Amino acid sequence: MTSVLVAVGAVTAIGAVLAALLEMAGKLFADYGDVTVDVNAGSRTLTVEGGGHLLGTLREQGIFIPSACGGRGSCGACKLKVTEGGGPVLPTETPYLSATERADGVRISCQVKVRSDVAIWIPEEIFAIRSWKATLAAIRILRPGMVELRWELPAGERIRFKAGQYAQLKTARYGKVKEEVFRSYSISSSPRDERAVEFIIERVEGGICSTWVCDHLQVGDTAEISGPYGDFVLSDTDREMIMIAAASGMSPIKSILHALEEQGSTRKATFFFSARNMGELFHLDLMKRFEETLPGFAFVPTLTRPPEPDASWPGKTGRVPALIAEMIGDRVKDAEAYLCGGAGLIDGCTAALWAMGMPNERIFYDKFE
């Protein structure tokens, strides 16, 4: 018995010594000291503590690279170009990089460790992205499983965004969810409303963020919001607009409609909103208001499931491509399109628009990904 206890004690002691040695080695040899991050060929030079990942290091310096997973290496969204330093491309990056991107120095910034001086290139608009601790001012239930949140920025703060752009929301830990996560949501409010942002969020079964939003958030809670991100924006033309969305894909389209309303726009615009049944429709009163204030605007909700025989559904049924052919016809060739929704809706409608003669450069979309 004594010999067993001695053996266990010896193994434990050896383990403790090895752990201490590893810790000391880490401090002695993995101390990278201060390193510099050169941004856009000398446009900015940051002196940062070495050893962190590029995404987080830039974030600490107030430079917010879009990331859907918050740095877990699981979304591949936080791409940027590393022109010097950064080390070899890691196996965790390769699934997200095309051959062209790799040849061009594009990296997944949450996977790149800043161990020595590094030079990067990022689009100028990234510098406009900011972060705030926002306060939840209102929760509006649009239909079961669909809410619209209004987040107000701290006093005196403003967000300047273009209709169609998105922001990121950082969740809190709750229940068995041990880590905070970042999720991207299109802004549904007016760009003129610079004191707040609104998001339409649908409950995703088993979703970490949407469960937090739908079951845990309360008015007065705070959360980190950063933005604006994205290039899905309202164009500055007077072309006829074809808008297509389903579910929470209404969000950026609603923001675009607010912007058109505030501009006093007379552009011809038709918004095809696809839902399976009447229960999935929402914001009908708001769309009616847009029809009254925007002389060229029409809202066309369509149900993809046949309505119940006793339901008094006066609207359209069927899929959006058939309705575009029926209602827009040849005018498609000269129009431009704004789409937001799942891949099935976007891919199907995009193919239909091409077939009807709309050129690719006039099709703008924000696909649920």
Partner 1 sequence: MKQTPRERRIEMRMEEGTLARDGFLGDDPLRLDRMDVDARVLADAGISREEIGEVLQGLWQRARALMGEAYEPVPGVTVEVGEARGRIPCPFGHPGIYAKGVMTIEHGDRVLRVSPLSIHMIRSHGFFGGRGSMFRIEPDAAADLVRRLAAPAWQ
List of residues contacting partner 1 (CB under 8 A): 68-69, 72, 74-76, 94-95, 175-179, 183, 185, 202, 204-209, 211, 246-248, 274-276, 304-305, 319-320, 341-345, 347-348, 368-369
- Closer of 305 and 333 to partner 1 (Cβ): 305
32 vs 37: CA distance, rounded Å: 13
Distant-in-sequence, close-in-space partners of 173: CB < 8 Å, separation ≥ 6: 179, 180
CB atoms closer than 10 angstroms to residue 188: 25
- Closer of 48 and 253 to partner 1 (Cβ): 253
CB of 95 to partner 1, least distance (A): 3
Q: What is the DSSP string of 81-94?
A: EEEE-S-SPPTTTG
CB of 84 to partner 1, least distance (A): 27
Cβ–Cβ under 8 Å, residues 83 and 105:
yes
CB of 320 to partner 1, least distance (A): 7
CB of 16 to partner 1, least distance (A): 21
- Closer of 290 and 364 to partner 1 (Cβ): 364
- Closer of 97 and 128 to partner 1 (Cβ): 97
Structure tokens, 73:
């290496």
CB of 304 to partner 1, least distance (A): 4
Burial class of residue 6 in the structure, from the number of CB atoms within 10 Å of its CB (0-12 exposed, 13-18 middle, 19+ buried) = exposed
Tell me the Cα Rg of the chain.
25
Cβ–Cβ under 8 Å, residues 128 and 62:
no
Structure tokens, 11:
């193994």
- Closer of 76 and 315 to partner 1 (Cβ): 76
- Closer of 183 and 283 to partner 1 (Cβ): 183
360 vs 212: CA distance, rounded Å: 38
Grouping H, G, I as helix, E, B as strand and the rest as coil, residue 218 is coil
User: Dihedral of the CA atoms 280, 137, 213, 147 (nearest 10)?
Assistant: 0
- Closer of 280 and 336 to partner 1 (Cβ): 280
CB of 293 to partner 1, least distance (A): 29
Structure tokens, 262:
């505030």
CB atoms closer than 10 angstroms to residue 22: 10
CB of 276 to partner 1, least distance (A): 5
CB of 240 to partner 1, least distance (A): 23
- Closer of 36 and 304 to partner 1 (Cβ): 304
35 vs 37: CA distance, rounded Å: 7
- Closer of 182 and 290 to partner 1 (Cβ): 182
CB atoms closer than 10 angstroms to residue 176: 6
CB of 302 to partner 1, least distance (A): 10
In 3D space, the residue among 359, 320, 314, 352 whose CA is nearest the CA of residue 336 turns out to be 359
9 vs 15: CA distance, rounded Å: 10
